[in-house]
Chain A
Amino acid sequence: MKHMRITTAHQSITFSRRMMLLGGAQAAVGGLLIGRMGWLAIAQNEKYQLLSESNRVQLIPVPPRRGWIIDRNGKPIAINKASFRVDLIPQQLVNAPQVISKLQELMNLPPDEVDRITRELSQSRGFQPVSVADNVPYEQYAAITVRLPELPGVAASQGFTRFYPAGSAVGQLVGYVGAASAAEYEKENKNPLLLIPGVKIGKEGLEKTLEPVLRGEPGGQRVEVTARGKLVKELDPKPDRSGGTVQLTIDSDLHEYAARRIGDQSAAVVVMDVTNGDILAMPSMPSFNPNNFSDGISQNEWKMLSQDSHLPLVDKALESLYPSGSTIKPSMALALLNAGVDRAQKVNCTGAFQLGNHTFHCDKRHGPLDMDGAVVHSCDVYFYTMCLRVGAEKLSPMVRSMGFGEKFDLPFETQRYGTIPDPDWMMRKYHRKWQGYDTVNMSIGQGMVLINPLQLAVMASRLATGKRVIPRLIKSKPVAPQTQLAVDQDHLDFIRKAMWGVVDHGTAAAAKLPLNGIQMAGKTGTAQTHNLSAGERGDYTAANWKLRDHSLFMAFLPFDNPRYAVATIVEHGGFGAAVAAPLVRDTATFLYDRPKAIAALQAFEQSIGGTLAEREAKKEAAWRQANGLPPLPAAKA
């Protein structure tokens, strides 16, 4: 059949045609493959070479040495102390449970630590060490070192811990360091440095705000690692760069002296150099011991600190606010003079002052007093009368220009600035009109007036110089230029003389310096926190500590050529002259005659039951006993 014959020929043609097609398709695929490979290996070679390198080479970060914090004379405030640490290297571990139980036995590890180690081990990549313990005592370190051959995977090494030689005296100033929390790790875009065992970052205070300077640049051991995290070989390391040293304006000896001189009171002292605003000392006591925080603070210690009525976790110099009490009076007097009040005009103090249907009291019946007498003897009635006459509008600006209520740029996260009220402010804040009794309250630093101890020191500095002294804490920062304050030199001289009178023959006569040729000028203050009866004021032991008045004192010295300003606020210290003034006196003495000041301190500490460290240990022991906890093992290493 015709059809049959054609298809036989057709079939063979079809076959060869389709064979050609198939061959062509195969050649095309071959071409495509070679083209693709060329694209990958030539055009994209650089990209893939980079990816291959980043696969191959891993960086084990080597933590940088944290920068020091030193005082104005180069004396260390925060340094690094060599310490011993024990880590586990997961990939070298043969029998993890056995090694861990051996370590538990050698190092007395508590059960929850064992749990943590086991958990971290199961999550770790092979070459990243897991921390067993920080700051290991030398005996344990030595015990582990000799047994290292039978403990494969255990690494005992020397590291560094933060160390603060002055202990709790600098607690509030420097803050503390600790291991980064999960939130901090996230915040730094998962910086791998923060995961290394033993790496501590600033958590509070200067350690936190100066973190960028103190941390430094981590170096790294570059290693070749397999996909499973096994270390193949070490490549040339990248060196680390230590953190920068920060020099403070603080004089650490003075700071520590003032801290110790505070004794068992809850207080802050600020000492400033009036010529440039340098903060020479700013202790806030009681405080925490930042050394305990660097090794990780125990639950109990934290509990003890947070339950303390004297608030050791609060920096009272910057974070606590108090009524200024009579320390406001020199500034008020300046404002009165500025408003044209005759300094010789006398006001008769009868011990009480009637305004409307309310009676305001003075602490005693002073009789007729002029302005000088009113400052020297801290007469309230004089200021009630004169301030009411002048009006609050003319008072507040002067007080503010002296530093109360002013914000200062200092490297601390939390600072509170307080208030100096005025009629506008009252309307804004409380939606009411300013009343006469507001002026009366403000005239003696009560009512709405709130300040912190640093502002009190600034006020003393400004009264001493007549210039706008601005506090400075970091030595490398430029000294802020001191502009002249808008006060009459004659007024200023008068007020200084009155403040000299306060110490010479006034309310703070107990604070006279035991030094020849150096005289101090100052002003006491007693800030009421509760309305106590006169009887209770007379006998403080009767009143609850919490209800007592705050005791304030500010001063500058030497009177004739001011160099330093000292201020203190003692929480619930009682009468300003009784507690605050002697504290300032001794601190000021230390500036000129250290041996004399130290002798005074030793006598003082003897009277209150030992040195700071001794009293802290006693306090902790008492707290532990009261809370049913076993006593701590004697002396930490």
Chain B
Amino acid sequence: MITSAIIPRPLAKLPWRLIFLVTGIAMFGFVVLYSAAGGSMEPWALKQAMVFFIFLAIAVAMSWMRESTIKAIAFPLYGVTLIMLLGVEALGFVSKGAQRWLDIGPIKLQPSEFMKPAIVLTLARFYELVPVGEIRKWRAIWPALLLLGVPAVLILVQPDLGTCIVVLLCGVTVMFLAGLPWWFFAAPAASFAVVAPIAYGFMHGYQKKRIDTFLNPDSDPLGAGYHIAQSKIAIGSGGIWGKGFLHGSQSHLDYLPEGHTDFVFATMAEEWGLVGGVILILAFAAVIRWGMQVSTNARTRFAQLAAAGLSATVFFYVAINLMMVMGLAPVVGVPLPLVSYGGSAVMTVMLCLGLLMALERQQRTVSRVI
């Protein structure tokens, strides 16, 4: 918030610190995409910039939404997204192949992306409705499990393991903050150790291979381990200061696969080094911290849970992507928000941030009213 006599009040009331941070990250992303294209605005940087600014505008516009409106749309948004997920599934069944999006005229809608903010809002709304004393009861748990489980399974069978994991983690975070008993989180963690090998058996070949190569990337350096190996080479060879803008050989000579999407961080780190990487990580940390602060300052339970869940969405995006790129997690196909090329990730993150801005504005307005 900027207080100045010159700037009109509605503008001055915008959360400028967040907008600057997000725009800064996105701009850095354009620079990286420009380099990844071999020093050209085409085909990625320009398009990404357009998408970003459109969604930034939408996010800013969303910040005028009232908390009551958000509450009201929580369940319907969830319902519509779920139907779209089913639609994708049906379409995939018809076309006999993996299907992740719906073609609606000129745009491709990826419903699993909408599910990330939708699950957060729905669970926040659900736990707001649960009476305080009931929180440790079974009836506070099973509806949430159902709300989370159904879309998670639908996304998993698409198959989109990355999005499924992000959705699950977002939902679990909200449930954790809602105050569900410890055993609820401890028990699955313990059972994971048991179930993981069995689940592994049900995975698709390429998913299995990704986990294999994560556990031992050198086992197949030219096959499935290639992504991780080349990504580590790009980051490691960048050193502290990087090879310089437009001088990343790994990305420019195509040794780094997906250098403009999932592995954009490696492209960046090769040219900007550890310094660029740390700055980017700190910028994301600041964005997430801003979101967590909105949650801490929130006065309603819905706002608390929703704000924390939405920040967690951004956090999981960033954390999973970076862990994957640096060889700390299997390659699951999660993009780096705002930097990776692709509209849907930008859309999801900007929707989350728009909702966060709305909740933040609400805090100020409500505090003034009270």
Chain A contacts to B: CB under 8 angstroms:
3-4, 7-8, 11, 14-16, 18-19, 22-23, 26-27, 29-30, 32-34, 36-38, 40-42, 44-45, 47-49, 51-52, 55-56, 224-228, 232
Complex: how many Å from CA A226 to CA B232? Answer: 18
**Cross-interface CB contact of B312 among A3, A22, A56, A225, cutoff 8 Å:** A22
Q: Smallest CB–CB gap between A223 and chain B, Å? A: 11
**Cross-interface CB contact of B250 among A7, A42, A52, A225, cutoff 8 Å:** A52
Whether the Cβ atoms of A18 and B235 lie closer than 8 Å is: no
Starting from the known contacts A26-B292, A37-B278, A228-B254, 9 additional A-B residue pairs (CB-CB under 8 Å) come to A7-B133, A19-B295, A22-B177, A22-B308, A30-B319, A40-B236, A41-B240, A49-B236, A52-B233
A1 nearest CB neighbor, chain B only: B133
**Cross-interface CB contact of A42 among B239, B255, B319, cutoff 8 Å:** B239
Whether the Cβ atoms of A52 and B237 lie closer than 8 Å is: yes
Q: Smallest CB–CB gap between A478 and chain B, Å? A: 51
Q: With A4-B133, A11-B135 given, is the CB distance from A51 to B237 under 8 Å?
A: yes
Whether the Cβ atoms of A48 and B274 lie closer than 8 Å is: no
Whether the Cβ atoms of B296 and A227 lie closer than 8 Å is: no
Q: With A4-B133, A228-B254 given, is the CB distance from A37 to B235 under 8 Å?
A: yes
Contacts of B23-55 to chain A: CB distance below 8 A: none
Contacts of B265-313 to chain A: CB distance below 8 A: 269, 273-274, 277-278, 281, 285, 288-289, 292, 295-296, 304, 308, 312
Complex: how many Å from CA A609 to CA B315? Answer: 95
Q: Which residues of A contact B292 (CB under 8 A)?
A: 19, 22-23, 26
Q: Smallest CB–CB gap between A10 and chain B, Å? A: 8
Q: Smallest CB–CB gap between B168 and chain A, Å? A: 16
Complex: how many Å from CA A33 to CA B329? Answer: 11
B207 at the interface (CB under 8 A from A): no
Complex: how many Å from CA A224 to CA B252? Answer: 11
Q: Which residues of A contact B319 (CB under 8 A)?
A: 26, 29-30, 33
Q: Smallest CB–CB gap between A5 and chain B, Å? A: 9
Whether the Cβ atoms of B288 and A26 lie closer than 8 Å is: yes
Complex: how many Å from CA A38 to CA B132? Answer: 46
Q: With A34-B281, A37-B277, A45-B236 given, is the CB distance from A226 to B253 under 8 Å?
A: yes
Q: Which residues of A contact B250 (CB under 8 A)?
A: 52, 55-56
Whether the Cβ atoms of A41 and B269 lie closer than 8 Å is: yes
Q: With A26-B315, A56-B249 given, is the CB distance from A48 to B236 under 8 Å?
A: yes
Interface mask (B165-177 → A, CB under 8 Å = 1, otherwise 0): 0000000010011
B239 nearest CB neighbor, chain A only: A45
Complex: how many Å from CA A48 to CA B250? Answer: 11
Q: Which residues of A contact B132 (CB under 8 A)?
A: 4, 7-8, 11
**Cross-interface CB contact of A48 among B232, B289, B322, cutoff 8 Å:** B232
Whether the Cβ atoms of A49 and B237 lie closer than 8 Å is: yes
23 contacts between A and B (CB under 8 A): A7-B132, A11-B135, A18-B177, A29-B315, A29-B319, A30-B319, A33-B319, A37-B274, A37-B281, A37-B326, A41-B240, A41-B273, A41-B274, A42-B239, A42-B240, A45-B237, A45-B239, A48-B232, A49-B237, A51-B236, A226-B254, A228-B254, A232-B253
Q: Which residues of B contact A7 (CB under 8 A)?
A: 132-133, 135
Whether the Cβ atoms of B233 and A41 lie closer than 8 Å is: no
Complex: how many Å from CA A44 to CA B269? Answer: 14
Q: Smallest CB–CB gap between A29 and chain B, Å? A: 5
B179 at the interface (CB under 8 A from A): yes
Whether the Cβ atoms of A55 and B326 lie closer than 8 Å is: no
Complex: how many Å from CA A18 to CA B304? Answer: 12
Q: Which residues of B contact A18 (CB under 8 A)?
A: 176-177, 179
B61 at the interface (CB under 8 A from A): no
Whether the Cβ atoms of B249 and A52 lie closer than 8 Å is: yes
Q: With A3-B133, A15-B304, A19-B308 given, is the CB distance from A55 to B255 under 8 Å?
A: yes
Q: Smallest CB–CB gap between A119 and chain B, Å? A: 23
Chain B contacts to A: CB under 8 angstroms:
132-133, 135, 173, 176-177, 179, 230, 232-240, 249-250, 253-255, 269, 273-274, 277-278, 281, 285, 288-289, 292, 295-296, 304, 308, 312, 315, 319, 322-323, 326, 328
A228 nearest CB neighbor, chain B only: B254
Q: With A37-B277, A40-B235, A48-B237 given, is the CB distance from A15 to B179 under 8 Å?
A: yes
Whether the Cβ atoms of A33 and B323 lie closer than 8 Å is: yes
Q: Which residues of B contact A48 (CB under 8 A)?
A: 232-233, 235-237
Q: Which 3 A-B pairs have the closest CB atoms?
A: A48-B236, A52-B237, A227-B254
**Cross-interface CB contact of B328 among A14, A32, A55, cutoff 8 Å:** A32
A-B contacts counted at CB < 8 A amount to 124
Q: With A33-B281, A48-B233, A51-B237 given, is the CB distance from A227 to B179 under 8 Å?
A: no
Q: Smallest CB–CB gap between A233 and chain B, Å? A: 11
Whether the Cβ atoms of B296 and A19 lie closer than 8 Å is: yes
Q: With A19-B308, A30-B281, A49-B236 given, is the CB distance from A38 to B274 under 8 Å?
A: yes
Q: Which residues of A contact B322 (CB under 8 A)?
A: 33
Q: Which residues of B contact A22 (CB under 8 A)?
A: 173, 176-177, 292, 308, 312
Complex: how many Å from CA A42 to CA B273? Answer: 10
B284 nearest CB neighbor, chain A only: A30
Complex: how many Å from CA A26 to CA B235? Answer: 22
Q: Smallest CB–CB gap between A70 and chain B, Å? A: 46
Q: Smallest CB–CB gap between A56 and chain B, Å? A: 4
Q: Which residues of A contact B255 (CB under 8 A)?
A: 52, 55-56, 226-227
Q: Which residues of A contact B269 (CB under 8 A)?
A: 37, 41
Q: With A23-B292, A37-B326, A55-B249 given, is the CB distance from A14 to B236 under 8 Å?
A: no
Q: Smallest CB–CB gap between B37 and chain A, Å? A: 14
Complex: how many Å from CA A37 to CA B273? Answer: 9
* Residue from the set A3, A18, A29, A225 with the largest chain B CB neighbour count within 10 Å: A29
Complex: how many Å from CA A41 to CA B254? Answer: 20
Q: Which residues of B contact A226 (CB under 8 A)?
A: 253-255
* Residue from the set B133, B173, B176 with the largest chain A CB neighbour count within 10 Å: B133
Complex: how many Å from CA A44 to CA B235? Answer: 10
Q: With A11-B179, A15-B179, A37-B326 given, is the CB distance from A44 to B236 under 8 Å?
A: yes
Q: Smallest CB–CB gap between B339 and chain A, Å? A: 14
Q: Smallest CB–CB gap between A295 and chain B, Å? A: 37
Complex: how many Å from CA A23 to CA B328? Answer: 20
Q: Smallest CB–CB gap between B108 and chain A, Å? A: 28
Whether the Cβ atoms of A49 and B239 lie closer than 8 Å is: yes
Q: Which residues of A contact B296 (CB under 8 A)?
A: 16, 19
Whether the Cβ atoms of A55 and B133 lie closer than 8 Å is: no
Whether the Cβ atoms of B236 and A41 lie closer than 8 Å is: yes
Complex: how many Å from CA A38 to CA B179? Answer: 36
Complex: how many Å from CA A382 to CA B296? Answer: 126
Whether the Cβ atoms of A19 and B235 lie closer than 8 Å is: no
Whether the Cβ atoms of A41 and B312 lie closer than 8 Å is: no
Complex: how many Å from CA A40 to CA B235? Answer: 7
Complex: how many Å from CA A52 to CA B235? Answer: 10
Whether the Cβ atoms of B281 and A40 lie closer than 8 Å is: no
B257 nearest CB neighbor, chain A only: A227
**Cross-interface CB contact of B326 among A27, A40, A47, A228, cutoff 8 Å:** A40
Complex: how many Å from CA A34 to CA B292? Answer: 21
* Residue from the set A18, A40, A44, A224 with the largest chain B CB neighbour count within 10 Å: A40
Complex: how many Å from CA A14 to CA B326? Answer: 34
Q: Smallest CB–CB gap between B23 and chain A, Å? A: 21
**Cross-interface CB contact of B232 among A11, A40, A225, cutoff 8 Å:** A40
Q: Smallest CB–CB gap between A49 and chain B, Å? A: 5
Q: Which residues of B contact A232 (CB under 8 A)?
A: 253
Whether the Cβ atoms of B304 and A52 lie closer than 8 Å is: no
Q: Which residues of B contact A47 (CB under 8 A)?
A: 236
Whether the Cβ atoms of B233 and A51 lie closer than 8 Å is: yes
Q: Smallest CB–CB gap between A107 and chain B, Å? A: 36
Q: Which residues of B contact A33 (CB under 8 A)?
A: 281, 319, 322-323, 326, 328
**Cross-interface CB contact of A15 among B133, B177, B312, cutoff 8 Å:** B177
A13 nearest CB neighbor, chain B only: B179
B320 nearest CB neighbor, chain A only: A29
Q: Smallest CB–CB gap between A19 and chain B, Å? A: 6
Q: Smallest CB–CB gap between A515 and chain B, Å? A: 73
Complex: how many Å from CA A23 to CA B315? Answer: 10
